[in-house]
Amino acid sequence: MLRGIPRIVSPDLMHVLLSMGHGDEIVLADGNFPAVTNARRLVRADGHGVPEVLRAIVRFFPLDTFVEDHAVVMATPPEEAEPEIWAEYRRILREGEGREVALTPIERFAFYERASRAFAVVATGETALYANLILKKGVVLPHECD
């Protein structure tokens, strides 16, 4: 074990986060997401929810500030309200980034296509619907390396 790393961040997840470069994407997938089908690299986080995993990694994971779609969710059907979990994502991302972070909804099959190109998929046990989230990694600034 190491100090300062939340126990929810497994060695496999930490390896993925450290291996990712600027512009690489990671999917935090809910329990209904076809993770095995869409993953180039699969990290299991069974028994944990997406907010728990997100809260644990935002301290290490800078969002890409060169693009607007650095936090992408799977769009709901037009007749459905925005999922409550999205507000939680915004709160967690705001705390991690120190600024407001907009979520970009994209159509379901476009989400699957983008997810299939992601660096990795983290398969969680999240039960909320439309709880999938794609994050695009940004750069770590020199003063953040200390």
Please confirm, yes or no, whether 69 is among the known catalytic residues.
no
Q: Crossing angle for the helix pair 50-57 and 11-19, nearest 10 degrees? A: 60
pLDDT at 30 over 90: yes
The CA distance from 79 to 91, in Å, is 25
Measured CA to CA, the distance from residue 119 to residue 135 in angstroms comes to 10
40-64 residue pLDDT tens? 999 999 999 999 999 999 999 999 9
Q: What percent of the chain has pLDDT over 90?
A: 92
Q: How confident is the model at residue 138 (pLDDT cuts 50, 70, 90)?
A: very high
The per-residue pLDDT for range 124-134, each reduced to its tens digit, is 999 999 999 99
Strands 133-136 and 25-29: antiparallel
Question: Looking at residues 106-131, what average pLDDT do you find?
Answer: 98
CATH of 24-138, one of 3.40.1650.10, 3.30.70.3270, 3.90.870.10, 2.60.40.10: 3.40.1650.10
Q: What is the pLDDT of residue 146?
A: 66
User: Do the Cβ atoms of 106 and 29 come closer than 8 Å?
Assistant: no
143 flagged as catalytic: no
Model confidence band, residue 145 (pLDDT cutoffs 50, 70, 90): confident
The residue written with tokens 């290490």 in the block is: 60
Amino acid 143: pLDDT: 78
78-110 pLDDT, tens digit per residue, is 999 999 999 999 999 999 999 999 999 999 999
The question of whether 15 is a catalytic residue gets the answer no
Tokens of 143: 């003063």
Task: Report whether 71 contacts 63 (CB < 8 A).
Answer: yes
Q: Which of 12, 24, 69, 112 does the annotation list as catalytic?
A: 112
Residue among 64, 70, 89, 130 flagged as catalytic: 64
User: pTM for this structure?
Assistant: 0.96
- pLDDT-based confidence at residue 28 (cuts at 50, 70, 90): very high
Other CB atoms within 10 Å distance of the CB of residue 101: 19
- 92: closest CA among 63, 65, 116? 63
Long-range contacts of 138-142 (CB under 8 A, 24+ apart): 138/22, 138/62, 138/63, 138/64, 138/65, 138/66, 138/70, 139/22, 139/62, 139/64, 140/62, 141/62
Give the start-to-end residue ranges of the domains of the chain: 24-138
